[in-house]
Structure 1
Amino acid sequence: MLYTSDQTASFPSHTLRYLKTSLREHVLTLTLNRPEKKNALNPVLLHELAFAMAYAHYEKEVWMVVLAAEGDTFCAGMDLKSLSTGEAETATVPEPSGPVRLAELLAALHKPCIARVQGPVYAGGFLLVGGCQYVLASETATFSLPEVKRGLFPFQVMASLLEIMPARAVLDLCLRARTLTAPEALRLGLVTEVLPADNLDGAVVQLTEELKQYSPTALQFGLRAYQQVKSLPPDRQQAYLFEQFQQIQQTADAREGMAAFVEKRKPRWNSYEL
């Protein structure tokens, strides 16, 4: 994380410029709010996202995150104009301790993340979509990597997509800059569900309500293990996962889950214990 828990304790009191936030019933919704710029990611928005993600990681009342966007475009990727001209805006959050890499931020969240994709996704916007466990997309949404048209290449996006899509499909998307429809993105694993635009909000609510039925501690343990095990050699993976299972059995949520099962009632979950 690029911020400490002490730094993010003040998150609710900050006024953000390009990111709308709402925390309701354990769901933190982060809405990109630069519709006039197609929600392109400039330095201020990137820092606001990093600050919000760190808050979500540390805050026990946050059980999951929803990424959404205002306007007709989900995200146009990096704001190349602001990056090339070095235009400076007044900061809205503390300076992060290092460069903001969206894929790393989402991987370190360790809480379920849902993308509500209402419109086109371009270039670096794939890092937001690719880092979520669930992507609910409008049937009119499209997905495109146009970097090669500008003499660039989507290096970070390529690495992110290789974890969720077939390698040849990823390379083709990067090399030919072609546009995927929502149904095509669904077939390739980039999207998890395609819906009429009017049904997006209802589907997000339904999914978050379902996830709330399960132990937030167990979900966090699982997502953390998913990230950690990838960096371990094969002969260490099972030992690590066994250690994780031993640890999770000692949590209050594990005790509550077993008690609820025996007593044939719904469990009453606590917040995260990590």
Structure 2
Amino acid sequence: MLYTPDQTAAFSTYSLRYLQTTLADHVLTVTLNRPEKKNALNPTLINELAFSLTYAHHEKDVWLIVLAAAGDTFCAGMDLKSLSNGEVEPTTVPEPAEPVKLGELMAGLHKPCIGRIQGPVYAGGFLLVGGCTHVVAAESATFSLPEVKRGLFPFQVMASLLEIMPARTVLDLCLRARTLSASEAHQLGLVTEFVKKEDLDAAVSQLVTDLKKYSPAAMQAGLRAYQQLKAIPRAEQQAYLHEQFRQIQQTADAKEGMAAFLEKRPPNWLGE
């Protein structure tokens, strides 16, 4: 883990330079806020993302995350200029325990994460989109991997997309730098839902409402198991999942869910 629970416990006291965050009713909204650079990911923004999402992972009051962006572009990918000239800014959050890998950061969140995509997504921005459990996009949003045009290759994005799409589809996107419309991204499974831009907030809000009806503890256990399954030999997976089901039955949410079912009332989730 990039940060310990003790480090992220003071999250609310930090002033972030390129992120806006709000926590309300168990929903942490994290907004990329570098619109003048099309929310390109420089070292400071990457560390702020790592700190914020690790806080979300550790904090029991956070049941789900909405990942959004200011301006007309969701994310232009890595800030190649800042990376090439070794740009250094004053730190805004503690240094992570190791270099941040966005794909691993998103995979380790273990909580539902909704991507609110209001504009184009380029290059490394796919790591954020691919790591969300749900993606709601404006129908005008586009998705492109232009790395080969610059003599580069989207190695980490390729790995992330292979979790979502067939291999040949992923390779074609990487090799031809083709731009996808929101409709095409939906057909390929990258986008969960696409709507008119003016309906974007309502669609995200409805998805938040839907997810909050159900046990946070159950969803977190399921997402954690989903990630851990990848490292477990197939012959051992059912035994692992059986043990996970045995453990989840002992949680407060499971006991509350069964009681609510028998008493024919809505459950009052604790997230435990």
TM-score scaled to structure 1, two decimals?
A: 0.99
Instruction: Tell me the equivalent position of 2:189.
Output: 189
1:10: which partner in 2? 10
Equivalent residue, structure 2, for 1:42: 42
Alignment RMSD, CA only? 0.5
Structure 2 residue aligned with 1:204: 204
Report sequence identity in percent: 73
Secondary structure of the equivalent of 2:262?
helix
- Which runs of 5 or more residues in structure 2 are unaligned? none
User: 1:239 maps to what in 2?
Assistant: 239
2:198, 2:24 → 1: CA distance? 21
Deviations 1:165-192 (A, max 9, x none): 1111110000000100110000001101
Runs of at least 4 residues off by over 6 Å:
none
Correspondence for 2:97: 97
Name the SS for the 2:15 alignment partner: coil
Aligned to 1:57: 57
Q: What amino acid sits opposite 2:57 in the alignment?
A: H
- How far the C-alpha of 1:258 sits from its partner, in A, is 0.4
Instruction: Name the CA distance, whole Å, in 1 between partners of 2:156 and 2:190.
Output: 15
- 1:235-272 Cα offsets, whole Å, 9 max, x none, are 1100000000000000111110000000000000002x
Q: Tell me which residue corresponds to 2:169.
A: 169
Structure 1 CA distance for aligned equivalents of residues 167 and 137 of structure 2 = 22
Deviations 1:58-102 (A, max 9, x none): 000000001000000000000001011001100000000001111
Alignment partners' CA distance in 2, 1:253 and 1:134: 23
- Counterparts of 1:96-245 in structure 2, within 5 Å, are 96-245=96-245
Q: For structure 1, list consecutive stretches of 5 or more residues without a partner in the other structure.
A: none
Give the Cα–Cα distance (whole angstroms) in 2 for the partners of residues 136 and 212 of structure 1: 17
Instruction: Look up the match of 1:23.
Output: 23
TM-score by length of 2: 0.99
Q: Which amino acid aligns with 1:46?
A: I
